[in-house]
Amino acid sequence: MVFFLIYISYIIKSMKLIELLIERASYSLNRPFTYIYNGKKDIQTGFRVEVEFNHQDLVGYVVGVKETDKSKAELEEELGFAIEEIKDVIDEAPLLNDELIQLSKMISEHYLSPTIAVLQTMLPTSLSPKSSSKNGPKIAYNQYLRCIDPKEDNLTAKQIEVLRLINSVDKVLKREIKSVSIVKKLLELHKIEEVLEEKRRLEIPHYEEEEKHPLTEDQQKVVDEFLSSEDKVFLLEGVTGSGKSEVYLHISDYILKEGKTVLMLVPEISLTPMMVEYFLKRFKGDVAILHSELTPAEKYDEYRKIASGEAHVVVGARSAIFAPLKNIGLIILDEEHTESYKQDVSPYYHAREVAIMRSEINGAKVLLGSATPSLESRARAQNHIYHLLTLTKRISDFGLPKTTIVNMLDYHNIDNNSYIFSHKMRTAIQKVLDNKEQAILLINRRGFSTHVSCRKCGYVFKCPNCGIALTYHKKDNMLKCHHCDHVELLGETCPECGSKYLMKTGFGTERIEEEVHKLFPEARTLRLDSDTAKIRTKIAKTVTAFARKEADILVGTQMIAKGHDFEDVTLVGIVLADIGLNMPSYRSSERAFQLITQAVGRSGRKNKKGEAIIQTYMPDHYAITMAARQDYELFYRKEMSLRKLQNYPPYCYLASITIQGKNEERVVETIYSLATDLTEKLSDKATVLGPISPYIAYQNDVHRRVILLKYRDVKEINKTLNDAIKVVSSISGVTIQVNIDPYDF
């Protein structure tokens, strides 16, 4: 009886009260839920557990553990609700280190995002606190055999042969020994042993190790200023071709020699292979790679490699900002102006801001690099919030390319055999081909035609989900939506009137490639856009093939405009420079300027004079004329004066609030009620614009309406926004999304 009481006492005292977040990334569930645990596992904060929640088996993330000597009944009476028991503990160690846990809280607070959404974004599939992680990849092993007793007593000739083979090397792959029965017998006799070694599923290219390149006087000045300064955030503004990459490498080398780690971010997957090559050549064997084009298994392996400390340099795209590096000394964002650093789904974080958060935790430095910095970053540098570094000259002796603007409104400029190319462009392309050089042709629109319509009744083929015009892709004779990925075959008749007279209007990369084949049949071409890039590894293969001169002309979208360094490219042709200039966005001019400037900068990178031709129907627009001159300073002053008049960033902060639901009436009612409430509460702290219908107001049976806030002080509106989130989250049939610092709305 005494033993029984002691046992019961032990059970009660060992019970744990667990606070956890449920895997559903919803504002209404963004709070800890209480469970109890009676098991033997040493459950800790940061573990994943399996629980029953609302009659479903879900995964929870533990945020608090407390021992209790109270019984389940006593706890339920005290708390006032029933407490369920945890069904199972998934992990044996916390998923995140203290630094990343602290970072997740900072991101959640700054971006007003559900904490679980941040955690799910930070972790690879197999480690994510969600049910799908159960089906994620696990550790893969190579099975080796090793000799532990080479004595050949009482063995058959065949057994001796296999034993000697294994003993002749340190270890041999088990699958290479064909006789399974002999291996089994030798294992039973303890002549050999089986050794498991973790297998890396990502094949990293092999490069010969490269010595540091000597720096120019300007590059050395930048490196010295960066290393000697006590500042924490730096903006490196360097013209295209000025050698920013070599500056990154030299500074990284210094940081690594200090015993710290380096995080190198690039904005596009298409740029990753080139930056990976630079870092692999310089820091052989010490580099890990993280980006969304890796398979879940490859990403899982690289994540574990970084977490174990095997790699001290990480190169990757936006999500690599969450790499589990320890003791970070340097975070670099190349092409920092690029919008792909801003996530367009919840949590709506910006990698630049997260980089600064991580630098504050680690005491690291952040280096932002660009030839065309975002206005926000440049304004911060002007106000000495960031330390401004500059590279004003190209490494190439030939300097910036000669640039010509061609007015496509003047029919005299149009080539007789092509409405797409001007005389000037066609002549320049032919010259490149004659000289055995290379050209890049840019149009920031994929597909063959921008839309298809009926000549008889005017019907336009539109996406049934989004209501916007479908783009025609000739290669597979399909109409595709570039927003929701809806696809459908193009029929032969108009669905409205039955007419066979269908008209294809506008053009994209696919049409440009066809035009090149028609005008220059001898030219070898490659195309790079998000259609061709859907095939894994296609981006790297295309970029590598063009760099090896396996093609004369590369046709592509903005994917080809940034970061690439092709030494034989002497012509960049921008086929239609004003795409996007008329978009209803305060950033449209900045986007156009950055894209044109970056694209022009791909020409004449090495020891050949470059040329750039800009075709446009808006030849006098300041974004185009200043980009042609590569005059960032003049554009910055012009655009800042307009932003100030309109009170847009960097003169204010923005937040967009989206209400969505299947019942349009309820969505409209909720958004107008919210707008009224916010206007009353923030009358002296923020400007409330809207409600408005966004560019895509209806998609997949869901209606959307948006409110935009302009404000100066983040702290003053955060509480009001959090209150609004709670109110709307309690309304059935609608959901709310809050995007801090949106790029579009």
Q: Collapsing DSSP states into helix, strand and coil, what is residue 37?
A: strand
Question: Is residue 9 pLDDT above 50, yes or no?
Answer: no
Give the DSSP H/E element, type plus range, for residue 250: helix 244-257
Which residues have a Cβ under 8 Å from the Cβ of 577 and sit 6 or more positions away?
A: 592, 596, 614, 615, 616, 618, 624
Nearest one of 91, 161, 82 to 123, comparing CA atoms: 91
Mean pLDDT of the chain: 91
CA distance 650 to 648: 6
Residue 6 is predicted with a pLDDT of 42
Q: Which residue has the tokens 């998923």?
A: 95
Q: Which pLDDT tens digit goes with each residue over 427-459?
A: 999 999 999 999 999 988 866 667 788 888 888
Q: Which residue has the tokens 């044996």?
A: 92
Can you name the residues that pair with 710 across neighbouring β-strands? 654, 687
What are the contacts of 95-99 at 24+ separation with CB within 8 A? 95/46, 95/47, 95/48, 95/61, 95/123, 95/127, 95/129, 96/46, 96/122, 96/123, 96/324, 97/324, 97/326, 99/326, 99/358, 99/361, 99/362
Can you give the pTM of this predicted structure?
0.89
CA distance 603 to 375: 25
CA distance 187 to 595: 63
Q: Which residue has the tokens 């006492």?
A: 9
Per-residue pLDDT averaged across 250-259, rounded? 97
Residue 2 is predicted with a pLDDT of 42
Apex CA 460: angle with CA 459 and CA 464, to 5°?
115
Q: φ, ψ for residue 495 (rounded to 5)?
A: -70, -15
Question: Is residue 537 pLDDT above 80, yes or no?
Answer: no
The 3-state DSSP composition of the chain as helix, strand, coil percent (nearest 5) reads 35, 25, 40
Residue 477 is predicted with a pLDDT of 82
Pairing of strands 233-238, 261-265: unpaired
Task: Identify the residue with better confidence: 75 or 218.
Answer: 218
CA distance 202 to 294: 8
716: its two tokens: 């003053």
Give the DSSP H/E element, type plus range, for residue 659: strand 653-661
Nearest one of 552, 453, 437, 566 to 504, comparing CA atoms: 453
CA distance 472 to 488: 10
CA distance 606 to 615: 25
CA distance 370 to 563: 10
Which residue type occupies 657? I
* Radius of gyration of the chain, Cα coordinates, nearest whole angstrom: 30
Question: Is residue 70 pLDDT above 90, yes or no?
Answer: no
CA distance 531 to 43: 46
Which residue type occupies 707? I
Nearest one of 355, 426, 358 to 102, comparing CA atoms: 358
Residue 270 is predicted with a pLDDT of 67
Query: For the chain, what percent of residues have pLDDT higher than 70?
Result: 96
Q: Which pLDDT tens digit goes with each residue over 311-345?
A: 999 999 999 999 999 999 999 999 999 999 999 99
Question: Residues 713, 718, 723, 728: is their CA dihedral positive or negative?
Answer: positive
Q: Collapsing DSSP states into helix, strand and coil, what is residue 201?
A: coil
Can you name the residues that pair with 261 across neighbouring β-strands? 328
Helices (H), 48-145: 72-79, 98-111, 115-122
CA distance 138 to 573: 47
Q: Which band of pLDDT confidence, cut at 50, 70 and 90, is reported for residue 534?
A: low
Question: Is residue 14 pLDDT above 70, yes or no?
Answer: no
Q: Which pLDDT tens digit goes with each residue over 384-432?
A: 999 999 999 988 777 889 999 999 999 999 998 888 999 999 999 999 9
